[in-house]
Amino acid sequence: MATLKVIQVATGAVGTHSLRAILGHKDLELAGLLVFSPDKVGRDAGELVGAPAVGIRATDNFDEILATEADAVSFNALGDTLDPAAAFDQICRLLESGKNVCSTALSALVYPPITDRHAMDQRLQAACRKGDVSFHGTGINPGFMMDVWPIVLGRLVRHIDTLYMTEMVDMSRYTSNQVLTVLGYGKRPDEMSFELPFEHARESAYFGSILMLAEAAGLEIDDATLTWEGFASDKAIVTPAIEVEPGHVGAVRVRVRAFKNTRMRVESQMLWMLGKDAAPADWPYGDGSWSVRIEGDPSLETRIDASTSFDAKQPDVLMTGAHGVNAIPAVVKGPVGVLTHLDLPLFTGTFSA
């Protein structure tokens, strides 16, 4: 296939991995780089990931990026945890300029139908039509582990009775204070523990994964709940991004349950912790791990454990970026419009040189 010209937006925790993936991908060529930190402006893209110079210098001028000729954009700006409206506006303007966009910035856009109350899906579709391009929201969760992976596993069973999915991530090496603070670390448990009923749970990005799965499997969901719980640490925790006092949140559990006729059919839970010792004793541990258990015929149970030696050694962050970059060729080839994983063909990464 012809080499695709790609712009990278942001070089934070996810964006740095995406940039490295673009530079190492045989079918992609870096065409531009947008950064948000003044100290990165003017620096060569290769330098920012510890690689040889590639001749593309970082800019903080969004209009310059809009005017840059490119086939696609890898968009990894902080959206959910910083300024969702600004990120969404930039995505739409990039689409209108004729560039396909693969984004990890706004988790709800992995399955845009959940945003219908806010008309985000409609604006994305209009931007795609204006630019004659496609948009794809992706990530690792949501975007793969709690939707694509169980959908594929479902091919192997005669029927599914109940589906259980668990994410286990040790966040003690995370370098973003913004992300950890939004998740509730360092607060008192009673400050950030709550339960949402269906009318609010249905707008969660994590419920979007369940809806994608339900659409693929033909399951109608008539109720759902979302609980967010903080668990206090009995000792002080110090990480590169945050300090937690004893009695404050050192572990977080987010649990989404979907029902049909009062029967729970799907449970998706996220277990996040600032080190193994910060988690409740009965939690399964994973540094960057996910499990899927299908109760049905046959019953199946699988687990993925990931690791990396790059940057902060957070495999979930690397996988988030890589998944978006690896989707670019399929998205560029796809039809005009908003594309979920249900609309894309099978795609994968490339072998190293």
Q: For every one of its 353 residues, what pLDDT tens digit does the chain have, with 9 covering 90 and above?
A: 689 999 999 999 899 999 999 999 999 999 999 999 999 999 999 999 999 999 999 999 999 999 999 999 999 998 776 788 999 999 999 999 999 999 999 998 999 888 877 788 999 999 999 999 999 999 989 999 999 999 999 999 999 999 999 999 999 998 888 889 989 999 999 998 999 999 888 888 899 999 999 999 999 999 999 999 999 999 999 999 999 999 999 999 999 999 999 999 999 999 999 999 999 999 999 999 999 999 999 999 999 999 988 877 888 899 999 999 999 999 999 999 999 999 999 999 988 87
| Type and span of the H or E element at 186 | none
Q: How many Å apart are CA 214 and CA 219, to the nearest integer?
A: 5
Locate 346 and state its tokens: 């099978």
DSSP string, 112-135: GGGGGGGTHHHHHHHHHHHHT-EE
Residue 118's pLDDT is what? 75
Res 222: pLDDT: 95
* Predicted pLDDT of residue 113: 86
Residue 344 · residue 334 · CB < 8 Å: yes
Could you give the CA distance from residue 133 to residue 58 in angstroms, rounded to a whole number? 25
Per-residue model confidence (pLDDT) at position 312: 73
How confident is the model at residue 233, as a pLDDT?
A: 96
Beta strands in 233-299 (DSSP E): 237-238, 243-244, 249-260, 263-273, 288-297
pLDDT (0 to 100) of residue 183:
92
Q: Is 253 helix (H, G, I), strand (E, B) or coil?
A: strand
Assess if CATH 3.40.47.10 describes domain 4-137+316-338: no
> First CA to last CA across the chain, in angstroms?
17
Does a cis peptide bond (omega within 30 degrees of 0) precede residue 84?
no
**Which contiguous run of DSSP H or E holds residue 74?**
strand 72-75
Q: Which of 342, 319, 109, 118 is nearest to 208 (CA)?
A: 109
C-alpha–C-alpha distance, residues 116 and 156, integer Å = 33
- Which pairing describes strands 72-75 and 100-103: parallel, antiparallel, or unpaired? parallel
pLDDT at 114: 85
Cβ-in-10-Å burial (0-12, 13-18, 19+) of 6 comes to: buried
282: exposed, middle or buried (C-beta count within 10 Å: 0-12, 13-18, 19+)?
A: exposed
The pLDDT score that the predictor gives to residue 353 is: 73
Residue the block writes with tokens 């670390």: 185
Q: Which part of the chain has CATH 3.40.50.720?
A: 4-137+316-338
